[in-house]
Amino acid sequence: MISIDTMTAANNPAHTNLSSQELVEIALARGEGVLASNQALTVRTGTRTGRSPKDRFIVKDPLTEHTVDWNTINQPLAPEKFDTLWQKASRYLESRDMYFVSHLRIGEDPTYGISVKVMTELAWQNLFAHVLFIRPAQPQDDPQQWTILCAPGYKTSPEQDGVHSDAAIVLNFSKRRVLICGTQYAGEMKKSMFSVLNFLLPQHDVLPMHCAANKGKDGNTALFFGLSGTGKTTLSADPERFLIGDDEHGWSKEGVFNFEGGCYAKCIDLSAEREPLIWNAIQYGAIMENVMLDPQTHTPDYTDVSLTQNTRAAYPREFISPRVESNRSGQPNAVIFLTCDLYGVLPPVARLSREQAAYYFLSGYTALVGSTEVGQGSGIKPTFSTCFGAPFFSRPPQVYADLLMKRLDETGAQVYLVNTGWTGGAHGQGGQRFSIPTTRTIVSAIVNNELRQTTYQTLPGFNVEVPVSIRNVDNHLLDPRKTYANPQAYKENAALLIKLFIDNMDKFSISDSIRHAGPSSLSSRV
């Protein structure tokens, strides 16, 4: 056991490159968390149990002024405001009795990856970075190194600091710095560095992606795009395939590489039967955020969402046994867009043309399932998140769409739209969500190339190609029109969703071929 008194006896309060065990022990000794019955360090993140998009800023300077897509997500902050805030947060961190430093890496690629120095006020947050980022065998000095300064105890002042609340997440691309104040939610560190690579990589002809990736025994690689709650982590953690990563990747001319060294899974309703790999990965060295424990036994209750629906577990990739050791792979043969359709009118799987792939990529249609952001509430609602990750992409959407089309043309990868949402009716109107086993069977048919050789029919209105049959799947489910007891209800819900698609696409300046590849008004005979 590490003695905190011994560690703080030195004049320097910074404790550098500690092991997972050391960070767990310190976090326990300081009362930052407790061990659950599965031995995962369990913490609470206070009032902010998700990301705070309204508190996220990018420093606006000559580098970013004309390259960032400034909007309500990418909010500008003046350089002088950042410099002052960085100085105040640095002084605050250095005044603590102890703080924690790790030298890590983002991006499993020697050419495109970047090194990052992570400084945190809390031991468990440094453990989070240690788990989620890549742990180099031997940290090296890097003049292009980025720095994260995470000081949740330092509260910002809107009047003095030019921000909106007592928390701020600020990215400075020119100085290679990320500042996080006023929030304990560790996902801000992960997504900030994702945003950094999303800005840096396109200029190197690399597509950054909000997607999971895995590889089959036959060498075929699959990508799983989607927002939180649509199934990226669940479906990529496949006992029959090898995991590359569950959330963030780059796609270059050489292939696919993971940005991270760990996984960050949603825990709501987690079960050993449905998600055995994730269940077993939550062990000593992992972290659970805002998961409720039994007061006596400390057994996790994954159904208890009294704190938040965004309960989370972070664990190293090594805790998933079937994985790709190199953390990267060759070119993918299948690209899967995961969508959670609340209206119950999209098929469980559809094959997309090149133009349809661009359309649905720019649309990013899905549902917000569970609150991953502060202020979302607990309801479920439809959303359009450009590139399946709008909060993290700082350049104009067309930059990423063009790179996707380029990679598809180079590789011949087939794109599929997979609905993990509702069927037989809309959410709250008698519909049922597709079961995980059904979706797994469909995904298996995709990654095994079965759907490249089957017969398709066109679904009117959405104009996508739907397979007529899939082995071990009830063919009745494949055509959403057949799952509705009331055909008129299908038409009405389909018309509602189609209008949402068309209205959302109006904000993009795109070619006619892409626009016409999307949904169109239903005829009365559908």
Judge if 212 and 193 occupy the same domain.
no
Domain closes at, from 187, 204, 221: 204
The dihedral sign for the CA sequence 51, 55, 61, 67: positive
Judge if 198 and 224 occupy the same domain.
no
Q: What letter does residue 452 receive in the DSSP assignment?
A: G
Return the closest-CA partner of residue 170 out of 186, 181, 155: 181
Say how far apart CA 274 and CA 212 lie, in whole Å. 18
Bridge-partner residues for 58, per DSSP? 76, 171
Say how far apart CA 67 and CA 395 lie, in whole Å. 6
Q: Residue 358 in 3-state DSSP?
A: helix
Residue 388 lies in a domain: yes
The dihedral sign for the CA sequence 55, 56, 61, 67: negative
Return the closest-CA partner of residue 473 out of 502, 501, 431, 444: 444
Q: What is the DSSP string of 221-245?
A: EEEEE--TTSSHHHHHS-TTSEEEE
Judge if 331 and 301 occupy the same domain.
no
Residue 235: φ, ψ to 5°: -75, -25
Domain closes at, from 319, 334, 358: 319
Residue 136 lies in a domain: yes
Residue 217 lies in a domain: yes
Judge if 457 and 334 occupy the same domain.
yes
Could you tell me how far CA 491 lies from the centroid of its own chain?
33
Q: Per-residue pLDDT for the chain (526 aa), expressed as one digit of tens each?
A: 444 444 443 467 999 999 999 999 999 999 999 999 999 999 999 999 999 999 999 999 999 999 999 999 999 999 999 999 999 999 999 999 999 999 999 999 999 999 999 999 999 999 999 999 999 988 777 889 999 999 999 999 999 999 999 999 999 999 999 999 999 999 999 999 999 999 999 999 999 999 999 999 999 999 999 988 888 999 999 999 999 999 999 999 999 999 999 999 999 999 999 999 999 999 999 999 999 999 999 999 999 999 999 999 999 999 999 999 999 999 999 999 999 999 999 999 999 999 999 999 999 999 876 555 555 555 678 999 999 999 999 999 999 999 999 999 999 999 999 999 999 999 999 999 999 999 999 999 999 999 998 999 999 999 999 999 999 999 999 999 999 999 999 999 999 999 999 999 999 988 899 999 999 976 644 5
Return the closest-CA partner of residue 418 out of 366, 493, 355: 366
Number of domains the chain contains: 3
Judge if 25 and 134 occupy the same domain.
yes
Q: Residue 129 in 3-state DSSP?
A: helix
Judge if 239 and 315 occupy the same domain.
no
Query: What is this structure's pTM?
Result: 0.93
Judge if 100 and 232 occupy the same domain.
no
Residue 525 lies in a domain: no
Judge if 239 and 309 occupy the same domain.
no
Residue 481 lies in a domain: yes
Judge if 294 and 357 occupy the same domain.
no
CATH number of 400's domain: 3.90.228.20
CATH number of 164's domain: 3.40.449.10
**What amino acid positions are annotated as catalytic residues?**
51, 191, 210, 228, 232-233, 247, 312
What pLDDT does 253 receive? 96
Judge if 394 and 374 occupy the same domain.
yes
Residue 311 lies in a domain: yes
Judge if 375 and 490 occupy the same domain.
yes
Check: CB of residue 266 under 8 Å from CB of residue 232: no
CATH number of 281's domain: 2.170.8.10
Judge if 103 and 9 occupy the same domain.
yes
Check: CB of residue 266 under 8 Å from CB of residue 6: no
What pLDDT does 373 receive? 54
Check: CB of residue 101 under 8 Å from CB of residue 119: yes
What pLDDT does 456 receive? 97
Say how far apart CA 234 and CA 350 lie, in whole Å. 20
**Planar angle of CA 253, 256, 257, nearest 5 degrees:** 120
Burial class (CB in 10 A: 0-12, 13-18, 19+), 80: exposed
Q: Which residue has the tokens 């330092």?
A: 154
Domain closes at, from 156, 182, 204: 204
Q: Which residue has the tokens 């209750």?
A: 301
What residues make up the domain containing 376? Answer: 207-261+326-515
What pLDDT does 521 receive? 79
Residue 279: φ, ψ to 5°: -55, -45
Residue 226 lies in a domain: yes
- Residue 166's H or E segment, with its range, is none
Radius of gyration over every alpha carbon of the chain, rounded to an integer in angstroms: 23
Check: CB of residue 257 under 8 Å from CB of residue 109: yes
Residue 414 lies in a domain: yes
Check: CB of residue 77 under 8 Å from CB of residue 58: yes
Check: CB of residue 161 under 8 Å from CB of residue 25: no
**Cβ count near 301 (within 10 Å):** 13
Q: Which residues have CB under 8 Å from 269's CB, separation 6+?
A: 302, 303
